[in-house]
Chains A and B, each alone.
Chain A
């Protein structure tokens, strides 16, 4: 049978071995796992998480074996646990981002955690199997995004985690469950029918559902495939007159994955992840760093920060409608507002979890500063996480102009978080729901993941 793109993916998922994971890939993916768990833990304190959990608990759960972030003692059926944890992970927009753009870990980790608890003791996957499955989930997402040039820029139509995330989850769980090549093919095919949510729900409370569903439905696709469900075996290929996975893109050019030889090069090796320092859309991180740098200049100039000296704040950012909000009224909108994040950074000298509380969002001094903001879209500022920049200029009443610019924020893949910074973020997040002991235990477990004998301990 001739090699189709779809069958090459299935062969990869089925055939790739732990020894093919390079050191760099192991290292980077473990950082992602730690960050994702931390973000999921702190996310378990959000309103949207509570609704998702309440909804899932009301659904009859005949096999309640899988745990939920931040709720010791609560168990749900595996796919619902994956859903709830996926929602937690993305609830504050605090999770990792890749290039081309998606949030890869939240779509894969919850499903794997839930699945590992589902398997009987005799067949529990070890830490290395787990790490491999996780990387399969990432790799599939990355490869799919390379099939369309649309994917390189900040999205406009479908929210990428809902498109490639679902596929990644299906691939990762298919790997963990050791499905046959044919079953892997069908898992991908079924997952495509569960993929795809429009961008318009970004910046609303519904956006975290995208992640929850990506990880849950991809998992479901693998479970269905394991029970013999079949789909179109060429789902990833170009089928003229009848769209498969290509339905989610206007230009789509798939390519087969190389058969795993001794040296499969994982995309994560070539392209690292960005971790967020505060819970808001990735684009905000550039303007915040730019705002912080101009704030320093201001303090040198005037002794302390005072908005009354400012006439206008000019933001130079790329064009992207869903993150351009002059006056956000909810936490979800605030996390997707260049203006809000710049002003918060100017006023407070930092942006953190509490910047997005109701009180912080509606405070008077912030609203006053927001009124002074003007947004510009320079032509050279491309809506692309690899190329964009953020510039904040303060036009003072005195006539002076102070400018700060950021090309690469701290946490971006070009300037990755140090181990200390990453651990600091994890400890801070996890401390909302876990004891210090447990926090350190998780750090140690993830650090040593390859040597863990039973990954369901995680």
Chain B
């Protein structure tokens, strides 16, 4: 899964492929990236360069903004260039609120708590659910230091010194409109057109597309676009069933993808998908993007009080994973993911069903649980529930 970085369980480091002594890396080394020998690409800690990740916002955009900030924070820590675009909040303010990276001492602190819990597990080997012992343990907390991917403390903001060394560009729509009242765009929403021109200019001028051979030190451009498709961008797909121009957003994404493929850059976009009435648009957006992740938060929904979900704050739906330079993608074994926001960390974990322990459980409640479990189609119990359905 190539969701945004920051304490996620599925890092890209899960591959077991070991390359023998690299005979002088033929792939250009760029700070904060790691070459993927399987696909011949450079990997960023949240995915791949020239990658376009669409994040479907949760209802109040709380958690999607968090992931958005993680992506940018990772860029700052790795020394990448940033490009932040928003129509709602000034990019300066967004950057002021990036989470601080966890330093080594703090990481060990958290690590100790986690290992204390783990050693208990090891001592009593499982008696009833012994089959689960063989499942790989997912690292939900940072215990090993790694240069590829960092962990962030949400309770603190990033110190301004870290910004000194990086170059960042911003695009704040109200400012752009006042600076340049008219701009020629080919049959596309004018705000999107301006944004594309701005991105293209940065890519070209800073040489991210390799157009400047003099530039020795290659770098990555991380682009973050907030709240795309909302009314603030001049697009009415979020407030009308029959929007004026249903193609603007998809045209924008297509051209953006062209720009990203041509340069060393990665882009994360948050979209208020729950507001878009015309579902055809989201289907097309999904087909046009490399990665699409939907966040469903439990705030304000009936699931908030559902005992199944008491440990979590929301679900993660992975709708699309990238298949660049190969026929198949790195598919993780588990499809049911949930996220939770602890005091300092945001983590994404495999969704666990709590054990059904009560003796006096009545028939109806058992069926309710079974019904919800069927929806989850979790890896363990779904086979026993519902119709048996074999393909052959």
A binds B: no
Q: Which residues of B contact A (CB under 8 A)?
A: none
Q: Which residues of A contact B (CB under 8 A)?
A: none
